[in-house]
């Protein structure tokens, strides 16, 4: 019976992964960069860079299929049309996506759409440090430098992590949505998207506290209607190897089913369950759902590939 249950679970996870990736592939043209006077360049390229982040992580886990190939082709073509040099030259905040773009292109064995020497110049000239950032955005920058300049920069991650809401030991009741995202993004970088044990960069007490707070805050997020944040927290469970205790298994499965329930047959995953009727009626837009569908696609794909104990 246990084998049959695992087999059925595996089939279901693969179906969910395929459905969400298919929806993204069917909307691949919507990831194009569109200039608009009312929007900053950083906002214009946000969907494309978030897509490249997803694809770069999938490549780390050797998750490849026809949908991933279609999305990769679109991202490469679109990125090659964009003037990255001009953007980086006038916007230091956008420079933190250098690593995401470079890593995605490297995963596809394609030359990046900018010279790596140009990236190094931006670093050595001090340009990347030419603006104030909140701590988890500094972790963005350090993660970028660890990939482009030297792995030694990863040693700075705990220092910046200490300045986040988690690092300051902020009480759960005071967490804002931004604070929640600061923790999920920090966990992405600390674990290098699941390819590094967080215990390699954090002390034992902080690692235990991170595991505990990921679990406890997942329970908090489940009480709200925010599928986007919930999906990111579950990804962090996998990346940070949260212990699979009986209680953790139960909570993960309940939270996982919440994300599944926000995913319709087309593969679109809505940002909140209250939007489900609109999605089922075909009344949602790409911008309404693309980010949550990116999150769900990564969660389902990782679960199908890795099959963590609490998801089995």
What's 124's domain CATH number?
1.50.10.10
Q: What is the domain count for the chain?
A: 1
CA 12-15-21 angle, 5° bins: 140
Give the separation between CA 101 and CA 76, rounded to whole angstroms: 10
Q: pLDDT by residue (tens digit) across 93-147?
A: 777 788 999 999 999 999 999 998 988 898 899 888 888 899 999 999 999 999 8
Sign of the alpha-carbon dihedral angle for 114, 119, 121, 125: positive
Q: What is the mean pLDDT of the chain?
A: 91
pLDDT tops 70 at residue 62: yes
Where does the pLDDT of residue 48 fall: very low under 50, low under 70, confident under 90, or very high at 90 and above?
very high
pLDDT tops 70 at residue 4: no
User: 85 vs 79, 114, 116, 125, 257, CA distance in Å?
Assistant: 12, 7, 11, 15, 43
Domain that residue 66 falls in: 2-33+40-311
Give the separation between CA 85 and CA 79, rounded to whole angstroms: 12
List Cβ neighbours of 24 (8 Å cut-off, separation of 6 or more). Answer: 51, 67, 71, 267, 290, 293, 294, 297
Lowest mean pLDDT among 30-44, 98-112, 192-206: 30-44
User: 197 vs 147, 160, 191, CA distance in Å?
Assistant: 17, 18, 6
Q: pLDDT by residue (tens digit) across 226-269?
A: 999 999 999 999 999 999 999 999 999 999 999 999 999 999 99
Where does the pLDDT of residue 8 fall: very low under 50, low under 70, confident under 90, or very high at 90 and above?
low
Query: pTM of the entire structure?
Result: 0.94
**Whole-number pLDDT of residue 114:** 92
């Amino acid at each position: 019976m246990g084998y049959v249950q695992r087999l059925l679970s595996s089939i279901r996870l693969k179906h969910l992964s395929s459905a969400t990736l298919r929806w993204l592939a069917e909307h691949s043209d919507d990831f194009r960069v569109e200039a608009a006077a009312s929007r900053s360049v950083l906002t214009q390229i946000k969907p494309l860079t978030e897509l490249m982040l997803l694809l770069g992580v999938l490549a780390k886990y050797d998750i490849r299929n026809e949908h991933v190939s279609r999305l990769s082709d679109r991202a490469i073509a679109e990125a090659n049309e964009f003037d990255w040099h001009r953007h980086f030259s006038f916007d230091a905040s956008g420079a933190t996506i250098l690593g995401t773009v470079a890593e995605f292109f490297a995963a596809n064995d394609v030359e990046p759409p900018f010279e790596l020497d140009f990236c190094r110049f931006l670093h050595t000239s001090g340009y990347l440090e030419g603006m104030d950032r909140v701590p988890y955005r500094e972790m963005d920058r350090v993660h970028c430098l660890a990939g482009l300049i030297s792995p030694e920069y990863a040693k700075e991650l705990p220092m910046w992590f200490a300045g986040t809401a988690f690092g300051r030991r902020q009480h759960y009741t005071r967490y804002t949505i931004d604070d929640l995202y600061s923790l999920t993004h920090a966990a992405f970088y600390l674990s290098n998207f699941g390819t590094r044990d967080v215990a390699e960069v954090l002390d034992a007490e902080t690692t235990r506290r991170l595991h505990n707070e990921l679990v406890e805050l997942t329970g908090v997020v489940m009480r709200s209607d925010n599928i986007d944040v919930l999906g990111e927290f579950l990804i962090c469970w996998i990346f940070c190897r949260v212990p699979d205790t009986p209680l953790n298994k139960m909570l993960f499965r309940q939270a996982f089913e919440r994300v599944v329930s926000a995913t319709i047959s087309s593969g679109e995953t809505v940002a909140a369950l209250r939007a489900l009727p609109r999605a089922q009626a075909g009344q949602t837009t790409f911008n309404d759902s693309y980010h949550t569908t990116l999150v769900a696609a990564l969660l389902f794909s990782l679960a199908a590939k890795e099959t963590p104990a609490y998801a089995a």
